[in-house]
Amino acid sequence: MATANEDSPVVLVSGANRGIGAAIVRELKAHGYRLSLGARNVESLESEHGPADDMTHYARFDAFDPASAEAWVAEAAAKFGRIDGLVNNAGLGEHVHLMDDNEEALDRLWAVNVKAPLRMTRLCMPHLEATGRGRIVNIVSLSGKRVRNPLVGYNMTKFATMGLTHTTRHVGWDKGVRATAICPSFVRTEMSAYTSKVTPDEMIQPETLAELVRTAIELPNNAAMAEMLVNCRLEDTL
């Protein structure tokens, strides 16, 4: 296991208390990163990852509360003096079908899956630009690349997050910021528990996805990957 020190890169991870987010934390921590972790319940972070220390910072992050994002980024920058990477992992998989009349659920999907990562990107961008090799990784979905289900709310917001990722690449490129969208099929987490299309063992494992996140962060500026499409079952065009 690598040892973190005061020169180690600093990465913010949202939704870090379980599932993919928790796996990303374990992967980055094992390779010496300093981490600032956000979740709605800070106690859940402590329960999952142990007490905060000199190399790990915990913050309340609620995608519905813009002030929590502002406070989180400010606290992380103050603690570590820099921000090298942002992983927008927190997401919502609420089911809204095409003909559902459920504006409240649709608003929640847009708030969590699109507006929150956009807000975090805006807040972190000055810090990322200052490093000359800032990294943003957005955990999206293959549902942001193609449609294979009737969940219009989820599909629309994931396509929008792809638009956010590519716009971020365009805006940040000249200052060394690289943005990557990681688009997995079914991942073995609570969000995929509803499906019977593949078994849990056939799904992408969170630890595998976490390795890809680290790869996206560590690739040099001249070998950036805009998208990583990750399949656990055959798809003709992906």
Catalytic site positions:
154
Residue bearing tokens 């003709």: 236
Q: How far is CA 9 from CA 17, 151, 187, 199, in A?
A: 20, 37, 27, 37
Distance CA 202, CA 187 (A): 9
Q: Supply 43's token pair.
A: 């106690």
Distance CA 224, CA 210 (A): 17
Strands (E), 78-168: 85-88, 135-139
Report d(CA 116, CA 88) in Å as an integer: 9
The answer to whether the beta carbons of residues 146 and 114 sit under 8 Å apart is no
| 73 in Cβ contact with 83 (< 8 Å) | yes
The DSSP letter of residue 177 is -
